[in-house]
């Protein structure tokens, strides 16, 4: 900061923009983005937010409003001077606010925008349209911008000005009333934004839903009102176009995708409220924020109260955006008083059910629903874990990958495909689909045509620990417990069963030799039908924790130890057959001993578990390779 005059009162300070703002501004100043008009949407949106904020503040401090109780936004255009001025009588900004809000990037949406930048000018320009990028977008059309503002309740006014090239100046200013005036000195190429027709069209297109009157005055002509000025959610559905719904979504959610679903209704009865909710198409950047806060805006009789209230919707619906406007909550309710408020609790309950009913309806279109599921399924599944009351509903809405095909399946469809003797719903959990699909534990199920659900969201292990069954069928991990595969008479696979039951000579001696060689490193060694192509795999004992669950808990330091696994061996595998023959000939064979260790390490690797002794493994493997090449 440098001071250009020394007089303490009228000093002008110069501030550098923060680095990320400079980067953004550089893009804006040099932008050749064709839809520059979005700058107006951003400035009107800010003006309307400023009115909302003052309206809320005035609930507890009515003196902030004084005689000036009607909120409005005015657009003045002066074709001769080539200036455009946007004025509001909202909350205003003081010096600190200006430095904080118009010098840094506070808004996380803009940070998300910067994170998406590729450096490829063409792609990045498209992002401006998608993200909007707020106040700074004014530099697409401006050579210079002045912001003169007086904060409600304060006497002093301040002027912020900048050409968008690295620095801004702040000085004291004069302003008769509260609020903000943004004066834009338009670039020659942007002179269309002084034309009444052009301005009217842009306001209609993007800002018609703004619940504050917007009027337009072009120098020398009469002032006219250009928007409907009524809260969109209070208007009948039949009056609202798709385009208007979309623009309101973008405004209220600070989002730039298309809404995947729009839910608009009015509840009348004991409690009255209006609801306009959206489900986005794309994941918002803060979806996995640990706070898990819902992002729906709560209004009381058209007055914005908060967008930060945990009690509006359950955490597992935090991807929902939009507005709930209550007629019954008291207007002077503080954000703290909303906690455990019985009216809000009833609204939350009813709206949650509505959202789930809408999801159910939309799930009939499998293709579209799969897109929703891909974005938000992992979040919705948290509800299976924590919302006992709606667990069944949520289980019905859930979709899963499985060994039958690449698409998603519902539990109902899985149950329909179950084999006649199949008693359980089989699943495997893991970190990602590709590696789960390769799990050796699936081999026997595949060979018998028994479908297995492939679960790869961290939340899966948690809800599975809460939900014993679906439709009377227990959930069962294929990596745990004894395999009941041989009990599954699946018709066409009968031949395979007889083939399997052929006894491998020496197999019992081999199991005994493995047990002795491995000692405490395993809980048990046994033969299995679980495998067809692999020689060995690890499973957890019936009563023990699932392998993947245990790994998640360990990663989160919730668990210090790992329970020993059961090593299962495939009696039909050539390696096992050879080893069985070896052990028959020489009960104390050193080769078999080493093979036991190698195979256990191999099973650990496939399972994604760390090896307790990587150097020992490498030495044994090298020795085995050397023998294979005739060297040992």
Shortest distance in whole angstroms from residue 101 CB to ligand ADP = 3
Q: Among residues 107 and 292, whose Cβ is nearest to ligand ADP?
A: 107
CA dihedral 257, 258, 259, 262 (to 10 degrees): 150
74 binds ligand ADP (CB under 6 A): no
Query: Alpha-carbon torsion 263, 267, 271, 273, what sign?
Result: positive
- Asked if 88 interacts with ligand ADP (CB under 6 A), we say yes
State the minimum distance, in angstroms, from the CB of residue 609 to Mg ion: 49
Task: Give the per-residue contact string, 157-196, with ligand ADP (x = CB under 6 A; - = no).
Answer: -----------------------x----------------
Query: Cβ of residue 45: shortest distance to Mg ion, in angstroms?
Result: 5
146 binds ligand ADP (CB under 6 A): no
Q: Which CB atom, from 250 or from 318, has the smaller least distance to ligand ADP?
A: 250
Residue 47 makes contact with ligand ADP by CB under 6 A: yes
Q: Phi first, then psi: give them for residue 203, nearest 5 degrees.
A: -65, -45
Q: Which stretch in 102-110, 356-364, 479-487, 542-550 sits in contact with ligand ADP by CB under 6 A? A: 102-110
Least gap, CB of 617 to Mg ion (angstroms): 57
| Chain residues 240-259 in contact with ligand ADP, contact rule CB under 6 A | 254
Q: Which is nearer to ligand ADP, 56 or 470 (CB)?
A: 56
How far from 315 is each of 291, 299, 395, 477, CA to CA, in Å? 9, 19, 17, 28
At its nearest, how many Å lie between ligand ADP and the CB of residue 618?
55
Which of 44, 50, 148, 531 forms a contact with ligand ADP (CB under 6 A)?
50
CB distance 500 to 529 below 8 Å: yes
Q: How far apart are CA 353 and CA 341, in angstroms?
A: 19
The yes or no reply on residue 46 touching ligand ADP (CB under 6 A) is yes
**What would the x/- binding string for ligand ADP be over residues 342 to 381, using CB under 6 A?**
----------------------------------------
SS3 breakdown of the chain: % helix, strand, coil, rounded to 5?
Answer: 45, 20, 35
Please state the closest distance from residue 101 (CB atom) to Mg ion, in A.
10
Site for ligand ADP in 284-303 (CB under 6 A): none
Asked if 556 contacts 486 with a C-beta cutoff of 8 angstroms, the reply is no
Minimum CB distance to ligand ADP smaller for 280 or for 440: 280
Q: At what angle do helices 590-607 and 614-628 cross, to 10 degrees?
A: 120
Rounded Cα–Cα distance for residues 301 and 180 (Å)? 25
90 forms part of the interface with ligand ADP (CB under 6 A)? yes
**Do 199 and 216 contact (CB within 8 A), yes or no?**
yes
DSSP reduced 3-state for 364: coil
Give the nearest residue (CB) to ligand ADP. 134
Q: Which residue has the tokens 């007055």?
A: 303
52 binds ligand ADP (CB under 6 A): no
SS3 597: helix
Buried b / exposed e over 438-464, threshold 16 CB at 10 Å, is ebbbbbbbebbebbbbbbbbbbbbbbb
Among 58, 64, 134, 443, binds ligand ADP (CB under 6 A): 134
Taking the least distance from each CB to Mg ion, the nearer of 39 and 427 is 39
The reply to whether 456 sits near ligand ADP by the rule CB under 6 A is no
Residues 13 and 2: beta-carbon distance below 8 Å: yes
Q: Which is nearer to Mg ion, 25 or 598 (CB)?
A: 25
User: Of 578, 603, 599, nearest to 589 (Cα)?
Assistant: 578
**Segment (H or E) for 42:** helix 38-60
Question: 47 vs 312, which CB is nearer to ligand ADP?
Answer: 47
Under 8 Å CB-to-CB from 129, ≥6 apart: which residues? 33, 35, 38, 256
- Partner from Mg ion, ligand ADP, none contacting 103, C-beta within 5 to 8 A by type: none
Judged by CB, which is closer to ligand ADP: 107, or 515? 107
Say what angle helices 574-585 and 590-607 make with each other, to 10 degrees: 150
> The tokens of 476 are what?
């069962």
- Work out whether 93 is an interface residue with ligand ADP (CB under 6 A): yes
**Which residue stretch of 40-48, 296-304, 502-510, 565-573 sits at the interface with ligand ADP (rule: CB under 6 A)?**
40-48
With contacts defined by CB under 6 A, name the span among 90-98, 185-193, 260-268, 548-556 that binds ligand ADP: 90-98
Kindly state whether residue 15 participates in binding ligand ADP, applying the rule CB under 6 A.
no
Q: What whole-number distance in Å separates Cα of residue 17 and Cα of residue 99? A: 9
CB-wise, 93 or 450, nearer to ligand ADP?
Answer: 93
User: Of ligand ADP, Mg ion, none, which one does residue 101 interact with (CB within 5 to 8 Å by kind)?
Assistant: ligand ADP
Site for ligand ADP in 526-585 (CB under 6 A): none
- With a CB cutoff of 8 Å and minimum separation 6, the contacts of 548 are 428, 429, 430, 431, 461, 479
Give all strands of the β-sheet with 273-280 in edge-to-edge order: 259-267, 273-280, 321-326, 297-300, 303-306
- Please give the size of the binding site for ligand ADP, defined by CB under 6 A: 18
Nearer to ligand ADP, 17 or 372 (CB): 17
CA distance 475 to 465: 10
What is the DSSP pairing of strand 179-186 with strand 83-88?
antiparallel
User: Which residues form the interface with Mg ion (CB under 5 A)?
Assistant: 45-46, 134
Which is nearer to ligand ADP, 88 or 325 (by Cβ)? 88
Q: In this structure, is the dihedral angle defined by the CA atoms of residues 205, 208, 214 and 215, taken in order, positive or negative? A: positive
| Stretch binding ligand ADP (CB under 6 A), from 46-54, 262-270, 404-412, 429-437 | 46-54
Q: Which of 113, 135, 248, 278 binds ligand ADP (CB under 6 A)?
A: 135
Q: Decide: 255 and 280 in contact? Cβ < 8 Å.
A: yes
How distant is the alpha carbon of residue 411 from its chain centre? 24
> Which chain residues interact with ligand ADP by CB under 6 A?
42, 46-47, 49-50, 88, 90-93, 101-102, 107, 109, 134-135, 180, 254
């Amino acid at each position: 900061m440098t001071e250009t005059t020394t007089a303490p009162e009228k000093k002008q300070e110069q501030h550098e923009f923060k680095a990320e703002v400079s980067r953004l501004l550089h893009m804006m100043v040099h932008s050749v983005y064709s839809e520059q008009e979005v700058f107006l949407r951003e400035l009107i949106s800010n003006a309307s937010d400023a009115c909302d904020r003052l309206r809320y503040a005035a609930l507890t401090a009515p003196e902030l409003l004084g005689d000036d109780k009607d909120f409005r936004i005015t657009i003045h255009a002066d074709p001769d001077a080539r200036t455009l001025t946007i004025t509001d009588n909202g909350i205003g900004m003081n010096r600190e606010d200006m430095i904080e809000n118009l010098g840094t990037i506070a808004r996380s949406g803009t940070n998300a925008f910067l994170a998406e930048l590729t450096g490829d000018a063409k792609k990045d320009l498209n992002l401006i349209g998608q993200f909007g990028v707020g106040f700074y977008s004014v530099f697409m059309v401006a050579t210079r911008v002045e912001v003169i503002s007086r904060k409600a309740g304060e006497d002093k006014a301040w002027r912020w000005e900048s050409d968008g090239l690295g620095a801004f100046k702040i000085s004291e200013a004069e302003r008769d009333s509260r609020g903000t005036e943004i004066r834009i000195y338009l670039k020659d190429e942007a002179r269309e934004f002084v034309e009444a027709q052009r301005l009217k069209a842009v306001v209609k297109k993007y800002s018609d839903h703004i619940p504050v009157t917007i009027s337009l005055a072009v120098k020398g002509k009469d002032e006219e009102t250009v928007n409907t000025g009524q809260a969109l959610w209070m208007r009948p559905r039949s009056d609202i176009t798709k385009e208007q719904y979309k623009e309101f979504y973008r405004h209220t959610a600070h989002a730039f995708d298309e809404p995947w679903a729009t839910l608009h209704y009015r509840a009348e009865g004991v409690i009255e409220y209006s609801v306009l909710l959206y489900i986005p198409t794309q994941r918002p950047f803060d979806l996995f924020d640990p706070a898990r806060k819902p992002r729906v805006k709560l209004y009381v009789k058209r007055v914005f109260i908060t967008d930060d209230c945990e009690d509006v919707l359950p955490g597992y619906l935090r991807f929902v955006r939009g507005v709930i406007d209550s007629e019954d909550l008291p207007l002077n309710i503080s954000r703290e008083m909303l906690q455990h408020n019985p009216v809000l609790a009833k609204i939350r309950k009813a709206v949650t059910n509505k959202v789930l009913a809408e999801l159910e309806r939309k799930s009939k279109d499998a293709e579209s629903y799969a897109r929703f599921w891909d974005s938000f399924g992992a979040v919705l599944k948290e509800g299976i874990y924590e919302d006992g009351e709606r667990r069944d509903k949520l289980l019905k809405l859930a979709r899963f990958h499985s060994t039958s095909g690449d698409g998603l399946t519902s539990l109902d469809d899985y149950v329909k495909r179950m084999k006649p003797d199949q008693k359980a719903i089989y699943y495997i959990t893991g970190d990602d689909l590709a590696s789960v699909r390769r799990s050796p534990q699936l081999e026997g199920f595949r060979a018998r045509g028994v479908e297995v659900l492939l679960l790869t969201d961290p939340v899966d292990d948690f809800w599975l620990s809460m939900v014993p069954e679906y439709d009377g069928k227990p959930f069962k991990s294929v990596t745990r417990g004894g395999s009941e595969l041989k009990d599954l008479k699946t018709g066409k696979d009968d031949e395979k069963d007889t083939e399997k039951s052929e006894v491998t000579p020496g197999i019992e001696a081999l199991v005994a030799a493995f047990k002795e060689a491995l000692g405490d490193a395993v809980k048990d060694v046994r033969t299995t039908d679980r495998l067809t192509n692999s020689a060995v795999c690890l499973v957890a004992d019936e009563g023990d924790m699932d392998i993947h669950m245990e790994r998640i808990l360990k990663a989160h330091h919730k668990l210090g130890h790992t329970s020993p696994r059961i090593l299962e061996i495939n009696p039909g595998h050539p390696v096992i057959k050879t080893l069985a023959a070896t052990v028959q000939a020489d009960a104390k064979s050193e080769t078999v001993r080493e093979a036991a260790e190698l195979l256990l390490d191999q099973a650990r690797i496939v399972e994604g578990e760390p090896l307790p002794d990587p150097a020992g493994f490498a030495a044994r493997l090298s020795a085995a390779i050397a023998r294979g090449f005739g060297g040992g």
